[in-house]
Homo-oligomer: A and B are copies of this chain.
Amino acid sequence: MDITKDISEEIVRDRTDKLQEAMRASAVDGFLLTQNIDLYYYTGSMQSGYAFFPSHGEPVFFVKRSVERAKLESGIMVKELGAFRIFGETLAKAFPHIFSGTGGKVKIAADLDVLPAQTYLKLSELLQASGPCALVDGSPIIRRQRMIKSPLEISRFEAAAITVDEALNEALNFLKPGVTELEWMARVEYELRIRGHIGLMRMRGYNQEIATGMFIAGSAAAIPTYFDGPAGGLGLGAASPQSVSRRAIERNEPILMDIGCCIDGYVIDQTRTAVIGELPEKLVHAYEVSEAIIREAERGMVPGAICSALYAKSLEQADAEGLSSHFMGFGADQAKFLGHGIGLEIDEWPVLAKGFDIPLEAGMVIAVEPKFTFPGAGVVGIENSYLITEGSPRALTFTKEGLIKLP
């Protein structure tokens, strides 16, 4: 088989060390990883199964399918999962120092923010096989670790940023009055896909989904949705109530192009605003404020800066321009953030939002997306993805800024 590891064993080793260190700091005896993205990050393989990381010692990836492929991809030891009904015994035998060492209650963490309750309940029962065991939510541990990206990960964001830039520039040739949002997005997606976009954008949040972004114009753009972001869209019906619709693009209305892609697992996120003709003055102004907010964010995004303070600052700027009720959505449907971490998932940590009071650190990658919504008129704004460094943040997205004016 033409299968090769795409994460080196050294990187997997380093991730294991950091996970085990965090587990010990939280008095967790073992970590059971269940979600495909978590499995990929810590083992290098996304085959189906469960990976168990003891707080000390070597982890094992118990694979259901395909064992053969997992052995070629994984940087940790692979074993056959075997019968699920005896998985508790299997773990106890493989990790006697965890499951029969102390006499007290064993504390096992898992990614309970994504693991379905049905499987959680079954696992909780199976884990009692060799004595009392508590299955607790360990998702903050892994989400915190995954905030800090490695050079390998940065290189994948860079590849994704190139892809988005090329696809957008190609597709701009097809942006004309009368073209529908759907038709233009199909073109963008084609250009992304032939360049290696995997065809999926993964989100961790329950019920959150996205194809390749939002391409929405005029009044359709300003329609609110369930999607936890600053722009919604009319969509293709109640079964797909966001992003593109069959509405034709018109002259003199804002066209929001919030486009991402996923290359080798890593997503990038970028927004530009275009118009065919001219925008009304108040929308031009709001667009300019979005650029001013992102400039200010660039100045503020240094190690030690507090995420919630960066969001508060952007709110202040919007308010000073009389635009606070339009910022990141309108009225009751405003999103309450300025930016979000990206990585293997599009909704990673940190979030530049109220209540997210942690400091930035070098290695974080954050999509910053100030936008303004005007019901009946549209959405304008900008979004770049940034790597936090020891100095100023480095923009990973590089498509030319400014309102894109087409004749």
Contacts and interface: CB of A to CB of B under 8 A. Distances in A.
Interface of A: 1-3, 5-7, 34-36, 40, 44-48, 64-69, 73, 110, 112-121, 137, 139, 182-183, 185-187, 189-190, 193-194, 196, 198-200, 202, 206-207, 209, 211-212, 219-220, 223-226, 228, 232, 234, 236-241, 243-244, 246-247, 262, 264-266, 332-333, 344
What 4 pairs between A and B have smallest CB-CB spacing?
A: A239-B265, A199-B211, A117-B120, A66-B224
A115 B113 CA distance: 9
B194 A73 contact: no
Contacts of A228: 48, 65
A186 B182 contact: no
Given A66-B225, A199-B211, A206 B239 contact: no
Nearest to A223: B1
A353 to B, nearest CB: 15
A176 B44 CA distance: 34
Number of copies: 2
A223 B3 contact: yes
A137 B118 contact: yes
Given A36-B209, A189-B193, 12 more contacts: A1-B234, A3-B238, A5-B238, A44-B238, A47-B225, A48-B228, A65-B226, A69-B226, A113-B116, A116-B117, A198-B240, A240-B262
Nearest to A245: B2
Contacts of A207: 34-36, 48
Nearest to A114: B116
Contacts of A2: 219-220, 223, 234, 247
Contact of A69 (B64, B118, B223, B247): B223
A152 to B, nearest CB: 12
Query: Is chain A's binding surface mostly helix, strand, loop or mixed?
Result: loop
A44 B237 CA distance: 10
Nearest to A2: B234
A222 to B, nearest CB: 9
A268 to B, nearest CB: 14
Nearest to A211: B199
A202 B239 CA distance: 11
A270 to B, nearest CB: 18
B120 A237 contact: no
Contacts of A36: 207, 209, 226
10 contacts: A2-B234, A7-B238, A45-B238, A46-B241, A65-B224, A65-B333, A69-B224, A186-B193, A200-B211, A240-B264
A207 B301 CA distance: 34
Contacts of A34: 206-207
B200 A240 contact: yes
Contacts of A66: 224-226, 232, 332-333
Contacts of A264: 236-237, 239-240
A256 B35 CA distance: 28
A332 B68 contact: yes
A285 to B, nearest CB: 25
Contacts of A137: 117-118, 121
